[in-house]
């Protein structure tokens, strides 16, 4: 997934490399399976194994523990290796065609059968698993996603003619796909003419084209943004709007909370678990209700709530996430 650094799983893979490369472990040797372009990218305290097409078919050598950090990896652990599988979500089983759902379910069942230990990134995902998989009595460990600390990094204002930074704006962050439910925001923004909505994320698909055709003058699709631009957008937005219908976790919710920003999201899947009582929630998709929810939430958002958002974000640190996995590695390798 390092080949796709601007999607959620790409960010997870990138942050694993960064963290493990700067936190050497005296009692274990860490190897990273990476594309050729990333060999050496995370320093000299980890080993690198090039992810080649041939490696999908042939064993990669001996390891005490093999961690597949997401459920769709095409690379298989060598035989007799203790394998950890992390499941991020079951989204494809909701909105793909029946044939694709059956194929995906078979693949995921095979991965679960081969794993000694199964983890999930939220309690919601763990509770969903028995609906779709025969776990054969295996316990699922919930280890919440780590969220990169964005606060201290450089910021860069996007250079774009499609919006005016002088106007207050709401932000929606993530790959622009139908499951993100961004179309629900368009009629809401008609009720809020004094604000702009900036949608940042890969917008190359047909759903994004339809959004552009339907968007009013205060809705702007920006495409993918750099890390520095992402920080600037979080730091300067009035709030994050995240009406997604399918999430295994929901990284933008916590990223916005790092900056002490109000978050407005759906009640679907994992979002109430991740946002907790710090986020605000849309009860339905009526545009007047949504606009009233946002304006009331902004009115009620006091400094103490901003601090509560920052505290909640801090509870999803990568230090906590990685220490949980390192403890699991040590436990399994005994």
pTM: 0.89
Contact, 121 vs 147, CB < 8 A?
no
Q: Which regions in the chain score pLDDT beneath 50?
A: none
**pLDDT of amino acid 308:** 96
| pLDDT value of position 303 | 87
Indicate whether 198 and 133 sit together in one domain. Answer: no
- Encode pLDDT of 2-40 as tens digits: 888 777 788 889 999 999 999 999 999 999 999 999 999
The burial class, CB within 10 Å (0-12 / 13-18 / 19+), for 227 is: middle
The encoded tokens of residue 219 equal 């809705």
Residue 59 is predicted with a pLDDT of: 65
Q: Find the helix or strand (DSSP H, E) in which 50 lies.
A: strand 47-50
The verdict on residue 20 lying in a domain is no
Q: Are residues 113 and 70 in the same domain?
A: yes
Which CATH number fits the domain that encloses residue 126? 3.40.50.2000
**pLDDT tens, position by position, 273-305:** 999 999 999 999 999 999 999 999 999 998 899
Residue 285 confidence (pLDDT): 97
Residue-number span of the structural domain to which 328 is assigned: 52-146+317-333
The number of folded domains in the chain is 2
Helices (H), the chain: 8-22, 92-95, 98-114, 123-132, 185-190, 206-214, 227-236, 251-258, 271-275, 287-300, 303-314, 318-333
- Do 193 and 257 lie in one domain? The reply is yes
User: Does residue 47 fall inside a structural domain?
Assistant: no
């Amino acid at each position: 997934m390092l080949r796709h650094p601007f999607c959620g799983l790409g960010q997870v893979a990138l942050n694993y490399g960064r963290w493990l490369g700067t936190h050497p472990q005296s009692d274990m040797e860490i190897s990273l399976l990476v594309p050729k372009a990333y060999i050496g990218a995370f320093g000299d305290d980890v080993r690198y194994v090039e992810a080649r097409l041939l490696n999908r078919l042939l064993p990669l050598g001996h390891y005490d523990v093999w961690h597949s950090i997401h459920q769709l990896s095409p690379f298989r652990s060598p035989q007799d290796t203790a394998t950890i599988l992390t499941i991020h979500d079951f989204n494809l089983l909701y909105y793909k065609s029946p044939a694709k759902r059956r194929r995906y379910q078979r693949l995921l069942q095979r991965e679960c059968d081969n794993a000694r230990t199964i983890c999930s990134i939220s309690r919601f995902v763990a509770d969903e698993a028995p609906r779709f998989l025969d776990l054969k009595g295996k316990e699922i460990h919930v280890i919440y996603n780590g969220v990169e600390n964005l606060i201290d990094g450089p910021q860069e204002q996007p250079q774009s003619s499609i919006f005016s930074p002088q106007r207050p704006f709401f932000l929606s962050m993530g790959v622009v796909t139908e499951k993100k439910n961004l179309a629900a925001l368009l009629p809401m923004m008609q009720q809020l003419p004094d604000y702009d909505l900036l949608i940042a994320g890969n917008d190359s698909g047909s759903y994004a084209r339809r959004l552009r055709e339907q968007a009013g003058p205060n809705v702007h699709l920006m495409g993918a943004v750099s890390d520095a631009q992402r920080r600037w957008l979080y730091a300067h937005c009035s709030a994050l709007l995240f009406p997604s219908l399918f999430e295994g976790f929901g990284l933008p919710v916590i990223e916005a909370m790092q900056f002490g920003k109000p978050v407005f999201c759906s009640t679907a899947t994992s979002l109430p678990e991740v946002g907790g009582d710090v986020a605000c929630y849309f009860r339905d998709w009526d545009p007047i209700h949504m606009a009233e929810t946002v304006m009331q939430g902004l009115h009620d958002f006091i400094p103490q709530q901003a601090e509560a958002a920052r505290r909640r974000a801090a509870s999803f640190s990568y230090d906590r996430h990685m220490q949980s996995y390192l403890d699991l590695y040590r436990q399994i390798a005994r």
